[in-house]
Chains A and B, each alone.
Chain A
Amino acid sequence: MTNFFASRKGIVSVGLVIGGLAALLQYLGNPGNMGICVACFERDIAGAVGLHRAGVVQYMRPEIIGFVLGSLAAALMGRDFRPRAGSAPIVRFVLGVFAMIGALVFLGCPWRAILRLAGGDLNALYGIAGLIVGIGIGTLFFRQGYNLGRAQKTYSSVGLIMPLIMAGFLALLFIYPQVADAAKSGVLFYSLKGPGAMHAPLFISLGVGLLVGIIAQRSRFCTMGAFRDLILFKQVHLLSGVIALLAAAFAVNLIFGQFHMGFEGQPVAHTQSLWNFMGMVLAGLCFALAGGCPGRQLFMAGEGDGDAAVFVLGMIVGAGFSHNFGLASSPKGVGPHGIAAVFIGLAICLFIGFTMRKKAA
């Protein structure tokens, strides 16, 4: 059976659905220009389980849970669940940590960079430029023979660990639901103000997450791959999906009056252009070296890739570091140690990129 989602029409349809639903989620309560942000939402999950105590960004985001479980369902239905692991997991973990740190200096993953632009936030242009430069640096390493080595086929249980973690998170969300005006419910932390307190109704968020997980797994939707394939192979297949996402979010934002163009006063964003750019240089390089954008890492984790799961855990821990050590930005600007962390992250990426190259045969 041919996979419709792997066709050009398929990837464009997926981009349209993701962009449209993301803008709709904003209308239904998610933070501005953050209908779906993988980095921000994993950061909120890190807060929900108390890995950081930044009171404004704590919520067990059902979208992320839906991504992984939807991807698992799609992979099982499509006979595409392939448990695998063992390709430099510690490196993937560290890349996940610094991907999150870079994304939180900018304040968004590649998905949110596109959504911010679709909402009229021109600061996103610096982020997207940084993302492309970071991915471009990654492609130079690929041309030099960089790769993380082979994964091995493994037990089904290895591939099921991340979906089980997400199912556990979902169970916690049901066992300890948000209580009005309470910052904690059982073991879960809940924001009372700030972006963490803004969310669409639980079942709508979960439903959108599951749907996106299913179609993104089938289509291999990847925002990092979109730019990487253009630079490396001059292929526009994945890019057409990302452009569709931008167009759909832009159209839905216009319909709901959510489009406000400018640099100043944009929701959950700052105007320090250089650090919007540099944060995403770091994040883009990490995504490139790890082989997928944060959304794609979640979908691969759902289809059995234990190494992608390690990257996801790296991002969640990275969110903890970001908020515990003053690395994350806020609407006021970069955190006190954010700039130092970007340089450390870039140095580590260069170390990984230069040293993990197969010698020419």
Chain B
Amino acid sequence: MSEVVDARGLSCPQPVLDTLAKITAMGSGELEVLVDTEASKENVARAAQGKGWKVESITEEGGEFRLKLLGD
């Protein structure tokens, strides 16, 4: 079961802050991040990659994005 950050509805830079806080706390593993704007999707993906995590997949359902991030 992967960890989840629900950043839907939060404005910039909160989704990135929440994601990075979780990445730091986890160290490695699988993390899902939920966002609801293109900007948040891009910012979270960029920030995760900046920390050496991989964006495994991005899926869209009902105007919301689910980013699956992997860190090892």
A interface residue numbers (CB < 8 A to B): 3, 6, 78, 80, 82, 84, 87, 142, 147-148, 150-153, 220, 222, 225, 228-229, 232-233, 235, 237, 291-292, 307
The reply to whether the CB of B22 lies closer than 8 angstroms to some CB of chain A is no
B47 adjacent to A148 (CB under 8 Å): no
| A residues less than 8 Å from B63 (CB atoms) | 82, 153
State the CA gap A78–B39 with chains docked (Å). 12
| B residues less than 8 Å from A220 (CB atoms) | 39, 42-43
Count chain A CB atoms within 10 A of each CB in B11, B38, B50 and give the residue with the most. B11
Shortest distance from the beta carbon of B44 to any chain A beta carbon, whole Å: 11
The reply to whether the CB of B46 lies closer than 8 angstroms to some CB of chain A is yes
Residue contacts A-B, CB under 8 angstroms, 24 given: A3-B42, A82-B63, A84-B9, A84-B37, A87-B9, A142-B14, A142-B17, A147-B14, A148-B11, A150-B8, A150-B10, A151-B11, A152-B9, A220-B39, A220-B43, A228-B13, A233-B16, A233-B20, A233-B50, A235-B46, A235-B47, A235-B50, A291-B12, A307-B11
Shortest distance from the beta carbon of A51 to any chain B beta carbon, whole Å: 27
B38 adjacent to A232 (CB under 8 Å): no
Shortest distance from the beta carbon of B72 to any chain A beta carbon, whole Å: 21
| B residues less than 8 Å from A233 (CB atoms) | 13, 16, 20, 47, 50
State the CA gap A254–B37 with chains docked (Å). 39
Shortest distance from the beta carbon of A284 to any chain B beta carbon, whole Å: 15
Shortest distance from the beta carbon of A86 to any chain B beta carbon, whole Å: 8
The reply to whether the CB of B36 lies closer than 8 angstroms to some CB of chain A is yes
Over the window 13-55 of chain B, the binary record of Cβ atoms lying under 8 Å from chain A Cβ atoms (1 yes, 0 no) is 1101100100000000000000011110011001100100000
Contact of A78 among B11, B13, B38, B50 (CB under 8 A): B38
Closest chain B residue to A86, Cβ basis = B9
Shortest distance from the beta carbon of A257 to any chain B beta carbon, whole Å: 38
State the CA gap A148–B12 with chains docked (Å). 10
Q: What would 9 more interface pairs be, CB under 8 Å, given A233-B20, A292-B12? A: A3-B38, A147-B11, A150-B8, A150-B9, A225-B12, A235-B47, A237-B46, A291-B12, A292-B11
| B residues less than 8 Å from A228 (CB atoms) | 13
State the CA gap A151–B10 with chains docked (Å). 6
| B residues less than 8 Å from A237 (CB atoms) | 46
B17 adjacent to A232 (CB under 8 Å): yes
Shortest distance from the beta carbon of B67 to any chain A beta carbon, whole Å: 14
| B residues less than 8 Å from A307 (CB atoms) | 11
| A residues less than 8 Å from B12 (CB atoms) | 222, 225, 291-292
Closest chain A residue to B62, Cβ basis = A153
State the CA gap A225–B16 with chains docked (Å). 12
Q: A153-B36, A233-B20, A233-B47 are known contacts. Are A291 and B42 too (CB-CB below 8 A)?
A: no
State the CA gap A230–B16 with chains docked (Å). 13
A225 adjacent to B42 (CB under 8 Å): no
State the CA gap A80–B39 with chains docked (Å). 9
| B residues less than 8 Å from A232 (CB atoms) | 13, 17
| A residues less than 8 Å from B8 (CB atoms) | 150
Shortest distance from the beta carbon of B25 to any chain A beta carbon, whole Å: 12
Closest chain A residue to B64, Cβ basis = A153
| B residues less than 8 Å from A82 (CB atoms) | 36-38, 63
